[in-house]
Amino acid sequence: MGKTQEFLKNVIKYCIPSIVSAIIGLIAIPIISSIYPADDYGKINLFYSVGNMLLYIVLLGLDSAYIRFYFEPPEGLNKNNLFSIAFLLGCLDTIFITLIVYIIFPEKASYYLYGEYSKELLILMTIYVLGLIMFRLLSIETRMENKAVLFNIQQILLIITNRVSFVCVAFYSTNYKYSILAISFCSIFIGIIFLLIQKKGKWLELKNVNSKKMKYLMKFSFPLMPATIMTWVNNSAAKMVLSGYKDYNLVGILSIATSLANVFSIVSSAFCTYWSPYMYSNYKKEQEFIKKVHNVILLISIITVLIIFCFQDVLYFFVNGEYKESQKYFLLIMLSPIQQLLCETTFYGVNIANKTIYNLYISIIAGLFNVGSCILLYPKFNIWGIIIGISGAAILQLISKTIIGQRYYESIVSKKTTFLSYLIIIFIAILNVFTFKYLMLRIVISIVISIACVFFFRNEVRIIKSLLKKL
């Protein structure tokens, strides 16, 4: 039990940003839903989404290579080389894309994002992405070095940049342009500060880098870049499709629903942050322990979904006006962060075996399903066409990643228990569409499912009970 207790304590060290994010979100949501018109908030959220998409594009998957080879760098390279390659190429790619857009089609890009023409807003996007590059690479370093305090500070400042700065600006003006200005300059300013603190002038070390080593890195990283973009597509396709239809009002409502669905990330964020370096450094010697972790994560996921299912009225107490209509479908949106957590314990075999091409295939298929569903179903079924795309893509990824990941690294004790758990979570999300108004019915359903889970996860319940006594 000592090993399990130590693992839990290491995970808990990284949970502070998730808690802070949840608290800030609960404070910000009533302000946003009371002050911001849905279409203005929709444009701000699109700015976030596109900024993160560009981050994945410009890094070319090298952020994932930085994680994968941090402890086992290719021969002749070191950690600083890996950072420098990703940082330099990311910045150069950002500037290149900016020039292309700014010179060739600035009006189309601006009208698509904001519904009006503004070159200044396009420049702000560039500034924001440069800040995100610094945040991404520097936070990887702190994670891999297990510097929990510094990592938590970085993540909290990023949360403040993305969620607090524009809310503060709202007291001056709810015009989305002022909010985007605040977000962009906070991002680049804080990114530069941490670059100077962490790298101390050693942010560009390319002495040992040559074309052969670059080719080796790109062979691993490049398939991850489109896969990561397709992951972004799955998270943001609905907003982009709605933007194409100029339905910024529904973008705003969907964004609030997504923020509430991401309450689940309180559970997943700390675990995922610690799990990645743990897997790469322990997968050879701790396979049995990793299997136990998978079952515990299954149980915690079901419990968390049941708690949210029961007490969702508390979350929606903070939501005002037209944003409240998302309550009936927000649990279906939550399937996306749920699958991301569950796949953390089933899909690492693909990366360990350097078979990242499967990540690309799965992401493309799920992304096409999501985009296709949104485009084809939205005109006829409105928001429900969008929800089918989001939830269907999440389920598709969850099942396919589990099956393929287990071919290369076995981390599941019982496939029947795993897939039964998946079905329970999906069932609860669908059931909420019909029961979101009936508190007592939701409580009864949750009690019945909880009793069944205690029976199926007897060993995991004992582990959790023992840990809680020792904390």
Note whether 299 and 457 are within 8 A (CB): yes
Q: What share of the chain is helix, strand, coil (3-state, %, to 5)?
A: 85, 0, 15
Question: Is pLDDT above 90 for 425?
Answer: yes
CA distance 50 to 240: 9
Distance, C-alpha 298 to centroid of its chain: 19
Average pLDDT over residues 428-457: 92
Concatenated DSSP letters of 231-299: HHHHHHHHHHHHHHTT-HHHHHHHHHHHHHHGGGHHHHHHHHHHHHHHHHHHTTT-HHHHHHHHHHHHH
Question: Is pLDDT above 70 for 321?
Answer: yes
CA distance 418 to 347: 13
Q: Is 450 helix (H, G, I), strand (E, B) or coil?
A: helix
Question: Is pLDDT above 70 for 466?
Answer: no
Question: How wide is the angle at C-alpha 171 spanned by C-alphas 166 and 175, nearest 5°?
Answer: 60
Q: Look at residue 471 in the predicted model and tell me its pLDDT.
A: 46
What average pLDDT does the chain have?
A: 85
CA distance 150 to 194: 10
pLDDT tens digits for range 366-408: 989 999 999 999 999 989 999 999 999 999 999 999 999 999 9
Structure tokens at 444: 């009864």
CA distance 444 to 145: 45
Average pLDDT over residues 152-170: 81
Q: What is the pTM of this model?
A: 0.75
Q: Look at residue 4 in the predicted model and tell me its pLDDT.
A: 65
Note whether 61 and 70 are within 8 A (CB): no
Q: Which of 3-12, 212-221, 328-337, 441-450 is predicted with the least confidence, judged by mean pLDDT?
A: 3-12
Q: Look at residue 201 in the predicted model and tell me its pLDDT.
A: 66
Average pLDDT over residues 276-281: 81
CA distance 216 to 219: 5
pLDDT tens digits for range 246-259: 788 888 888 888 88
What phi, psi does 82 have (nearest 5°)?
Answer: -60, -45
Check residues 289 and 459 and name the one with the higher pLDDT: 289
> Which residue, among 22, 23, 34, has the nearest Cα to 323 in the 3D structure?
34
Beta carbons within 8 Å of 314's beta carbon, 6+ residues apart: none
Q: Is 451 helix (H, G, I), strand (E, B) or coil?
A: helix
Q: Name the burial class of residue 107, with classes exposed (0-12), middle (13-18) and buried (19+) by CB atoms within 10 angstroms of its CB.
A: exposed
b/e code 275-292 from CB counts within 10 Å (16+ = b): bbbbbbeebeebeeebbb
Question: Is pLDDT above 50 for 229?
Answer: yes
End-to-end CA distance of the chain: 12
Residue 168, number of CB atoms within 10 A of its CB: 12
Question: Is pLDDT above 60 for 323?
Answer: yes
CA distance 245 to 241: 6
> Which residue, among 5, 3, 2, has the nearest Cα to 467 in the 3D structure?
5
CA distance 386 to 393: 11
Question: How wide is the angle at C-alpha 339 spanned by C-alphas 231 and 40, nearest 5°?
Answer: 55
Note whether 250 and 42 are within 8 A (CB): yes
pLDDT band at residue 3, thresholds of 50, 70 and 90? low
pLDDT tens digits for range 51-66: 988 998 899 888 888 8
CA distance 407 to 380: 40
> Which residue, among 52, 30, 326, has the nearest Cα to 167 in the 3D structure?
30
Structure tokens at 163: 């969620």
Note whether 227 and 69 are within 8 A (CB): no
Sign of dihedral through CA atoms 382, 383, 389, 395?
A: negative
Structure tokens at 430: 């669908």
CA distance 86 to 80: 10
Check residues 200 and 431 and name the one with the higher pLDDT: 431
Question: Is pLDDT above 90 for 160?
Answer: no
Q: Which amino acid is at 53?
A: M
Concatenated DSSP letters of 413-425: S-HHHHHHHHHHH
pLDDT tens digits for range 84-123: 888 999 999 999 999 999 888 888 888 877 778 888 888 9
